[in-house]
Amino acid sequence: MDSALEIFQPGLLDDRTVFITGGGSGIGRGICDMLGGLGAKIFIASRNPEKLGVAVEELSADGVTADFIIADVRDYEQVEAAIARCAERFGGIDILINNAAGNFNCPTAELSPNGWKTVIDIDLNGTFYCCKAAYPHLKASGHARIISITTTLARSGWPQAAHAGAAKAGIQSLTNALAVEWAPDGILVNSISPGPIAGTVGVDKLYIETGQEEVMISRVALRRFGKIDDIAGAVAFLCSPAGNYVTGTELVVDGGRQWTFASAS
Ligand code: HXC
Ligand code: NAP
């Protein structure tokens, strides 16, 4: 069995619509392949039209109903318009995936106020904007899920990327609050914390380009980077009926890094 996709029943998400930010690359792209492969309609929002065009073309070639819109999650009006377009195009929204993020290594003493603000705006404010704008559609769904992609470094603190750690910690807190507030509306709200995932901008930029690949692998209990498919499979689980009683949870998919990392630093 090559992909987590094979363990799920074909057509599992046939009647569902997914709104995903940053689904044109990396982990987000893998989530589009997984949920689209299970029958969901996929609507992607992010900034880069070339990347989004290729993603939608490839998804469509695989038989997935997919579309995109250009939107910067830092701008509430753009987010609101993107959500409205998705609901109009596909008749509602059942699953919101908050995946878009920005990050870079920078010692905090050297980080400019705008560098800090940029990452908080993309990760934390963007997640809140999407949740707020999608809420009426999710409430009407009957199968609603919000899944935000975060990191265990939100809990430990993230030296050299304090901006991203703080933003992700905010997302975790928002997740817990919404899990309670929106439970009566039938909306399940969770996060997934990946470990370092091979072949992604995150790992390339933060670990490979900085020469830290080997040390970072040594800080994962399983002694390897994860696969995009590992995260996409976790998302499919939360979207499936097997996830019906899971809300307000951080699902850690990190090869045991959270414990080895803490004991190594
Ligand atoms: C210090 C930096 C910087 C760097 C940008 N800034 N890069 N400061 N070191 N390497 C500062 C700039 O100087 C500026 O502040 C402010 O941040 C905004 O920069 P812009 O380039 O104008 O922003 P923008 O064009 O909007 O780009 C946003 C971005 C960019 C976050 C900087 O990298 C981006 O678009 N990233 C999206 C893709 C990405 O990062 N993916 C990785 C996600 S991985 P001043 O003061 O000069 O105006 C992840 C977890 C990985 O989240 C975990 C691995 C295990
Ligand atoms: P990625 O490929 O760079 O994905 C980030 C996406 O966010 C891009 O597709 C980008 O698309 C979009 N984006 C960035 N800024 C945006 C903005 N202002 N508005 C709208 N979209 C924006 O990186 P990735 O590594 O796969 O990361 C995906 C998620 O996983 C992130 O939440 C990240 O924090 C999390 N994560 C990753 C790892 C890892 O090992 N890679 C580990 C833990 C957590 P555009 O350029 O088109 O805007």
- In the chain, pLDDT over 90 holds for what percent of residues? 95
For helices 26-37 and 49-61, angle between their N-to-C axes, nearest 10 degrees: 30
CA–centroid distance, 184 to ligand 2, in Å, is 31
pLDDT average, residue stretch 29-52: 98
CA–centroid distance, 22 to ligand 2, in Å, is 6
Q: Is 175 in the pocket of ligand 2 (CB under 6 A)?
A: no
State pLDDT tens for residues 75-114. Answer: 999 999 999 999 999 999 999 999 999 999 999 999 999 9
- Cα(260)–Cα(265) distance, integer angstroms: 9
Residues 6+ apart with CB under 8 A from 252: 152, 192, 193, 258
pTM over 0.95: yes
- Per CATH, which fold does 9-199+228-252 belong to? Rossmann fold (3.40.50)
Of 257, 249, 196, residue with least CA distance to 222: 257
Q: Is 164 in the pocket of ligand 1 (CB under 6 A)?
A: yes
How many C-beta atoms surround the C-beta of residue 116 within 10 A? 17
Cα–chain-centroid distance for residue 144? 16
